[in-house]
Amino acid sequence: WNKETEEPTQNHRAYINGYPDGSVRPQGEITRGEVAAIMSRLHADVEEINYGIETDYSDVKSTDWYAKHISYVTDNNLMEGYEDGTFRPEEKITRAEYATVVARFQKLEQVETSFEDSKDHWANGYIGAVYNKGWITGYPDGTFKPTANISREEVATMTNKMLDRKIDGEGLGDLSINKFTDLEFETWSYYEMVEASNTHEYVRRSEHTTVENWKEIVK
């Protein structure tokens, strides 16, 4: 591409936020309430449209920070509660559960998985669908570990792949990104977390790649 054919600048919204102590906890586990917030931020601008905060869950109060997000993902069939009427927003989410949310977000057809430890799992078809897209991988021993809790950096990596969001050092240039006390450059997920935690305007580097060149960090 040249300057005459460069595509228009586009916007990616941050979907992972840091914590009050200045950390972002890439290796930390992630809760169902936090995932509801991620999905509603990606699916619609619920912060601005003041989406309804009433839910039918016995453990979600209208004053909870995640209430409107849980209401949104429930109404849009991205996540659901439990038979006892709870949502369990503080419960950690598993690899299988997040694969299910991603598959529903993209309306993927279910595909039977080849992972031996997932064939009898209720999320078998969702795991297979997301794996076939190349958005999640298994482990070297041939397992998927569907009941293992997923980390924040794994969520960022899978979500970025799903949305074709990719940044590197060249694309960042000298822009001033959000800094976190526990996000080291040497961390394997560094650029995945940078992509997920900064709202930015960008263009694709070329028509043959999804790698972005960022134009501005939107604070």
Are residues 61 and 67 in contact, defined by beta-carbon separation less than 8 angstroms? yes
Task: Report the side by side order of strands in the sheet with 200-204.
Answer: 10-12, 200-204, 212-217
Residues linked to residue 216 through DSSP beta bridges, in sequence order: 201
What per-residue confidence (pLDDT) applies to 126?
Answer: 98
Model confidence over 30-44: pLDDT tens digits? 999 999 999 998 976
CB-count burial class (<10 Å; 0-12, 13-18, 19+) for 136: buried
Residues 83, 80: Cα–Cα separation, whole Å? 10
* pLDDT bracket for residue 67 (50, 70, 90): very high
pLDDT of residue 202 exceeding 70: yes
Model confidence over 152-199: pLDDT tens digits? 999 999 999 999 999 999 999 999 999 999 999 999 999 999 999 999
Its pTM stands at 0.90
3-class SS of residue 216: strand
Are residues 125 and 164 in contact, defined by beta-carbon separation less than 8 angstroms? no
Are residues 124 and 113 in contact, defined by beta-carbon separation less than 8 angstroms? yes
Model confidence over 140-154: pLDDT tens digits? 999 999 999 999 999
* pLDDT bracket for residue 54 (50, 70, 90): confident
150: left (phi over 0), alpha (psi -120 to 50) or beta: beta
Residues 39, 11: Cα–Cα separation, whole Å? 17
